Structure 1
């Protein structure tokens, strides 16, 4: 498989380290000379008010991601690496439609205690409402993802640094991305 024929989607509940692993995975791709484009889904649906026919802003998110992906693609093939949450088959299909390629899903997981502690360090005192919302929904989304996850790779991040998580992901996918002369 050559670069650009599939993307990597870092999936998991809040606080498992998706965004941190995403940044380190970009570093790994760059060091290996592999073209990539990073996407943190959260930045593609941050607008208010939402459209009455798109209350979760998923339509806006999809269009924004599709447009940015097309801009990145103009300079050549790349592997999209996405951090977000896929809760349903419909979510997975929507993201694949945005990129026009298959997405290999990596499920990142953490215990509730570790995820909650990470969330508390993420949100400053002035963002208590955001922290409360994430903590209140953490268990629900964790359980839903554990039941619905159809993944290629599962990583427990409790005792792993984000660099180590990125290493595991890169090691898993590199045989399909690196030319055989580099392997």
Structure 2
């Protein structure tokens, strides 16, 4: 198994709803596994899936950080130095403090990848995924986040379009952006 020799690498995969973050994240993990590259994969949305919000933590940022820190500590004890993390807003520069705190004392090299998709592609994907009243809400939120992400990501963020590409093609582009080996 290939371990990273130069320190901790954090690959953030963000994008609007329907851009393919979860599918691409799982495929990145599969490509790395097939290449026998040690890594951990965390679906960021699962870290704050609690209702109601914890007292004093209405945006669930503190519980997200605590859960991420606990998972990373466990993975790090196993020798892992590569983390693939998916979440809509993870690529925004404002989130850097969360990752630096949760992964401390490691000071990771951070690679941000913003998955992009057209409104038509997103509509097709979300229509296949969402049921009932949630579809309209997801489409509106996705359009809002597309604008926010485009305006708020750091300049060094790698943009990877997902329109008319397979999940494997996109995942290979993401792994390449990280500079990691893959099968």
Please indicate the TM-score interval, normalised by the length of the shorter structure: 0.7 to 0.9
Q: How many residues align?
A: 174
Which of residues 104, 107, 111 in structure 2 aligns to 1:104? 111
Superposed CA deviations along residues 109-164 of structure 1, whole A, max 9, x for unmatched, are 001121122112122x3xx3433322221111100100111244111101111111
1:65–1:145 Cα change, 3 Å: same
Structure 2 CA distance for aligned equivalents of residues 148 and 34 of structure 1: 31
Report which of the two has the higher share of helix: 1
- Structure 1 residue ranges without an equivalent (≥5): none
In structure 2, the partner of 1:167 is: 172
- The match for 2:144 among 115, 128, 140 is 140
Map 1:79-158 → 2, pairs under 5 A: 79-86=82-89, 88-100=92-104, 101-123=108-130, 125=131, 128-150=132-154, 151-158=156-163
> Once superposed, what is the RMSD of the aligned Cα atoms?
2.0
Whole-angstrom distance in 2 between the partners of 1:97 and 1:165: 29
Deviation per CA, 1:13-54: give whole Å up to 9, x if none.
111001001111011111222110001111111110112421
Secondary structure in structure 2 of the residue aligned to 1:68: helix
**TM value normalised by structure 1:** 0.86
The answer to whether structure 1 residue 74 and structure 2 residue 77 are counterparts is yes
Instruction: Give me the whole-angstrom Cα distance separating, in 1, the residues matched to 2:47 and 2:162.
Output: 25
The partner residue of 1:36 within 35, 39, 43 is 39
Moved more, 14-23 or 72-81: 72-81
Q: Counterpart of 2:136 in 1: which secondary structure?
A: helix
Retained in 1: the 8 A contact 2:111–2:178? no
Of the three residues 16, 19, 22, the one matched with 1:16 is 19
Contact 2:40 2:82 (8 Å CA) reproduced: yes
Which stretches of structure 1, 4 residues or longer, exceed 4 Å deviation after superposition? none
Over 3 Å counting, the alpha-carbon distance change for 1:170 and 1:122 in structure 2 is: same
